[in-house]
Amino acid sequence: MQIKNIMTAPAISIEPTETITTALRLMLSHKISGLPVVTPNGQLVGVLTEGDLMRRSELQTEKKPSWIQSLLRSSGKHASEYVHTHGRRVSEIMSNEPVTISPEASLHEAVDMMTRHHVRRLPVVRNERLVGVVSRADMLRALLPVISDEPRTVADETIKESILREYRTQDRWAGGNFISVDVKNGIVELNGVVTDERLRVAARVVAENVPGVVSVIDNMTFVEPFSSTEIPPPLFP
């Protein structure tokens, strides 16, 4: 799936000459954590986020440098920080180098970028023009229809083969035939021996994710590999 299939467009944005009062009202009324900053012709020049507005003189939340930091910083650096905590225009406090993404990029690329740069939303840009925004909320909306737990009727043999196929795919932890699978009327029964409780949980999750599964019965036994102590399956998964 590509970003253009899930992004919010047109994006709610703001011009750099606007006041932060206008920006705050936009963010609060639309319940968003940031605004792309664009010129009148649609060129992206920055991003204003909640983080940019947290250190404010009005809230007395300015960052207090240590005496040695104050000594080592140039007068220009001190002036820049003052503007950031006291400035009233979007252009004065916005981030000037926003992390952007192409509308043709994949969701995998977007998640990697959000994680790496610690951001919640990415401006979507084509030819330096803002065409939309993709946020974590957009990701959740894309996830919902594909993870839906609405019941589906699937043949028992098809369910079993799907579970076993996924076990074979996950050979880093599910190698071999360590678990046997039986399916009747959509109810999956797992039997076998595991030497790590985490394998039990993963094996059950595989079954729960297969379309058509009504419920999963965990009959797997955990055997402590050093003492050979057997621990029966839990009463409640």
Q: What is the pLDDT of residue 63?
A: 76
Does residue 182 register a pLDDT over 80?
yes
pLDDT > 60? residue 68: yes
- Name every residue whose Cβ is closer than 8 Å to that of residue 162 and which is 6 or more positions away in sequence: 210, 211
- What's the mean per-residue pLDDT of the chain? 88
The whole-number pLDDT of residue 234 equals: 66
Is the pLDDT at 32 greater than 70? The verdict is yes
Percent of the chain with pLDDT over 70: 91
Q: Which among 31, 208, 198 is positioned nearest to 120, based on CA atoms? A: 31
Q: What pLDDT digit, counting tens, does each position of 169-181 carry?
A: 998 888 766 789 9
pLDDT of residue 236: 54
pLDDT given at position 228 = 65
pLDDT attached to residue 138: 93
pLDDT for res 235 = 59
pLDDT on residue 230 = 66
Q: What would the DSSP string read from start to end of 121-190?
A: EEEEEETTEEEEEEEHHHHHHHHHHHH--------HHHHHHHHHHHHHH-HHHH-SS-EEEEEETTEEEE
Q: Which domains does the chain have, with CATH numbers?
A: 3-145 (3.10.580.10), 156-231 (3.30.1340.30)
Residue 63 contacts by C-beta under 8 Å, 6 or more apart in sequence? 55, 81
The pLDDT assigned to 80 comes to 82
Higher pLDDT, 234 or 172: 172
Mean pLDDT of 92-108: 94
The pLDDT value given to residue 151: 67
